[in-house]
Structure formats: C-alpha cells, structure tokens
Structure 1
Amino acid sequence: MEVNKDRYYRIKWFWNILKNGLFLFGVRNRLARIGFDIDPFYWVLEGDLTCESPKIKGDPSAYEFTQLNAEEITSIKKKIHGNDDAAGLPNFHDQQICIGLEYKGEVAAFMIIELNDFNYNRKKFHLKENEAYLFHMYTFEAHRGKNLAPYLRYQSYLMLKDMGRNRIYSITQFFNKSSKRFKKKLNARHLQLFMYIILFKKYHYHFLIKNYDS
C-alpha cells in the first residue's frame, strides 16, 4: 500500500510541474538535495499601481482578504508539509506580515511580507523604512487557475502603500515560469540577475550576471 501511495505521489508531482511549466524548476530542486544547486534568480521591483487591478475568476465574493497569525501559519505548514512546490516554507516571526485569501473559512492562498533586512541563499539584502520584500506566494491546488496570486499581490501593494512602504521587491527564480507569469500581469520589473551556486553542500558562490538598470 505504501509503495502504491509513493508511486501515486511521484506521478502527481511530475504531472503538476509539467502542467505549470516547472520541469526545470523541479529538476533543480531534486539536484539540490544531493548537494549540487544552480539557482539563477532575478531581483525584482513590484508595486506598480498603474497596472490593471487583477480580478478573481469565478465568484470574488467567496474570497476574503485576511491577515494570518502565527497559529494559522503553523496549521498551514502542517497541511502542505512534504509538497515539493511548497519546499522551503520559512519560519514565520512577529516582525513579518502574512496575508491571505480565505474561502469558506479556509486559507486558499497566502504570502509573507518582510520589512527588515534578510538573507536569501546567504546573500544579505538591506531594506529601508519605505521598502518591503514579498516572498513565498502559495496557492492551494484546489484554488489554482482563479487568478488569486495576482489579486493577493495587488492587495499587498495597497496595504503597504498605506504603511508608507512604496518600494516593493521580490525574488523570482529563473526557472519558475508560473511566478514570472503572474508578476508580469502586475508590471513587475527585473532589476538584476544573479547566479547562486552550491557545490557539495559546502561551497557557496554568488555572481551578478546582469544589471538591468545600467
């Protein structure tokens, strides 16, 4: 029974990454587990409120914008534990903000907002008082295809603007086509392209490949 269950999970995982254009992204995650990781990523500027406000497909009144607390986030982590497309869900702390969309009392999508300096792949990023960093956008499978990610992202722009945070950043992994697609809808702009390499889980290297503002 366990063998069949494991086989079903692997087939489902492979189908999901093919369906969402994430084949190379998924392969890269698998190679990282054995100590060889090549992670090109974009440093991205978001928060362009001149873009068209995204709409939820279907019945938008069924979804409620909400801010999640630590207890709710712990429950979410248990629910999605073990899914490859949710790998790397970070530990949430009280200096961050987690927002989401609820559907009939259950979280359908969520993302985290960082307001302080942070590390990504051992690279330090510094945030000023008018800046914010958006990360770990996740939509549960039952609610995918409803345009929830762009909608929630846009709501975060409005919230952060009211907080005086008018410079909003994110990171997009080069192979993550779904992330590129939904950010493109929001007029997100690439600022820089970095390459991060890990060898044997021991040696770490960063390279700036391209600066799009220069």
Structure 2
Amino acid sequence: MLTRLKNYLTYVDAKLKHDAPLQILYHSLNVLSIRVQPFYIMQEGLFTDTNPFELPHLQTYTVDWFEHADMHRIADLPDRNTPVKEMLARLDQGDLCLAVEDGNQIVAFTWCNLTWCDFSGYRFRLADDEAYLYDAHTAAAYRGMGVAPFIRYRLYEELARVGRLRLYSFTERFNRAAIRFKQKLNSRIVDSGLYIQLFGRWSVSRNSRHFKHTIRQ
C-alpha cells in the first residue's frame, strides 16, 4: 500500500513538472471524477526502410515482447500508476507490450491493441491491417536519450511484419510534448474530438465521424 502511494505521488510530481497548465487542470478534475479530454486521433506508421532512431547512450540493450511475469516490474516503476490486474487483463485480451531493457532495467515500453481502437468515446473495431497504439512510457532515468521514438518505430516494424501498417493513437490537444513527439514520427492528425465523463457514470463524446466513416474506407 505504501509503495503504491509513493508511486502515485511520484506520478503526480512528474505531471506537475512536465505537463502544460491545461493538462494539470484536466488531471485535477480527473481526481474529482470529472474527466474532460479534448483529443486528436493520429495515424502513424513506417516512413523509411530502416529505423531512423538509434540509442547511442546505451551500450547494450534488448527489445522484446513483455509477458505476464513482467507486469509486476512495470507496476513497480516509481512514476507508474496502472494496477497489475489491469495490465494482465490487457495481455489476456490479446494486447501486446513491446519493451526495451538495459540489463535488468526497464528502459521503455509501448502497448498496442490489434482488435479494437479502444479509446474512451472513440471506439471502433480494427481491420486486419490496423492497430491501436497506447500507453507509451519511458523510465525517468532514460528520458532525453531518444528512447521513445526508437521503441515506437521498432513497434511499427514489428507490426508491419504481421501486416499491420495503418496504426492509430490518441493525443490530448494541449499535450505539446506528445504532439511534437508524434510529428517527429511523421504522424498526421486524421480526426479530433472531445470526451467528457462525470463521476464515472455519465459520459458524452463529440467527434466529426469523418475519419471512421470516410477516411478508413
């Protein structure tokens, strides 16, 4: 219990240091069970034959798919706040988690869903050549080393091997760092929307529907 509390406080501290003021406001409302989330849906994917991002700061590293036994290690990271039970459920439903490790240390990881684009308020079933990317995270000690774009592009490559070339993700409109990150990966905005949830019970979502009903066809 104390470990979970410590991890949550570290998570909040990281939010205060790195997030834009509007993001902090939205996070504060979320603590009060009021979720207001304006978002972009981004399309990502391969844009070169080889991974243009390298890890010169890491002498040795490994990249592999994480399994059930690794979820406790993710949960123990000081700035993570996702319960082990939730991550195990992701794996059980077929989601995948690709990770970079430096020896026994988790450097970064990113998740993908091959069945559903499962973002709150914007849910649709994926085609055989699509995937939904979510929950990308880099450990605090390895930030600023170019790890995030490296593992993201590596995920593109792994998914391309099984025919998944059209990749989607969501970005909060006021998360400038995330938008710059996606731009570095040649991602493009294909739709936008707003999701509001009150007290975990009532929710409403607004989006153009142009992407789901026109662009994807």
Could you tell me how far 1:21 is from its partner in structure 2? 4.0
Equivalent position of 1:35 in the other structure? 33
Equivalent position of 1:69 in the other structure? 67
In structure 2, relative to structure 1, the CA distance for the partners of 1:88 and 1:104 (3 Å cut) is: closer
The reply to whether residue 197 of structure 1 matches residue 189 of structure 2 is no
Could you tell me how far 1:126 is from its partner in structure 2? 1.4
The reply to whether residue 48 of structure 1 matches residue 46 of structure 2 is yes
Structure 2 unaligned spans of 5+:
none
Could you tell me how far 1:131 is from its partner in structure 2? 0.7
**C-alpha contact (below 8 Å) 1:99/1:111 kept by paired residues:** yes
Alignment length (residue pairs): 202
**C-alpha contact (below 8 Å) 2:77/2:139 kept by paired residues:** no
Equivalents in 2 of 1:165, 1:193: separation in Å? 23
Equivalents in 2 of 1:42, 1:103: separation in Å? 33
**C-alpha contact (below 8 Å) 1:40/1:173 kept by paired residues:** yes
Equivalents in 1 of 2:82, 2:180: separation in Å? 21
Superposed CA offset, 1:104-130 (max 9, x none): 222110011110124322442210111
SS in 1 for 2:164: coil
SS in 2 for 1:93: helix
Structure 1 unaligned spans of 5+:
none
Equivalents in 2 of 1:71, 1:121: separation in Å? 28
In structure 2, relative to structure 1, the CA distance for the partners of 1:193 and 1:126 (3 Å cut) is: same
TM-score when scaled to structure 1? 0.81
Letter in 2 for 1:39: Q
Equivalents in 2 of 1:69, 1:143: separation in Å? 22
Equivalents in 1 of 2:180, 2:75: separation in Å? 25
Could you tell me how far 1:57 is from its partner in structure 2? 4.6
For residues 171-190 of structure 1, the aligned pairs below 5 Å read 171-190=170-189
Equivalent position of 2:128 in the other structure? 129
Could you tell me how far 1:18 is from its partner in structure 2? 5.2
Superposed CA offset, 1:57-99 (max 9, x none): 523x42221111111023211334xx4xx44564222411111
Could you tell me how far 1:177 is from its partner in structure 2? 2.4
The alignment's C-alpha RMSD in Å is 2.8
Equivalent position of 1:144 in the other structure? 143
Worse-superposed segment, 18-27 or 66-75? 18-27
Letter in 2 for 1:112: W
For residues 105-124 of structure 1, the aligned pairs below 5 Å read 105-124=104-123
SS in 2 for 1:194: strand
**C-alpha contact (below 8 Å) 1:194/1:210 kept by paired residues:** no
Superposed CA offset, 1:146-199 (max 9, x none): 111100000011111111111111111223222212211110111001100123
Q: 1:23 aligns with which of 18, 21, 24?
A: 21
Could you tell me how far 1:35 is from its partner in structure 2? 2.4
**C-alpha contact (below 8 Å) 1:114/1:132 kept by paired residues:** yes
Identity of aligned residues (%): 26
Superposed CA offset, 1:2-41 (max 9, x none): 9xx98xx57x944x34543443223311211212221011
Could you tell me how far 1:48 is from its partner in structure 2? 3.3
Q: Runs (4+) of structure 1 moved beyond 6 Å? A: none
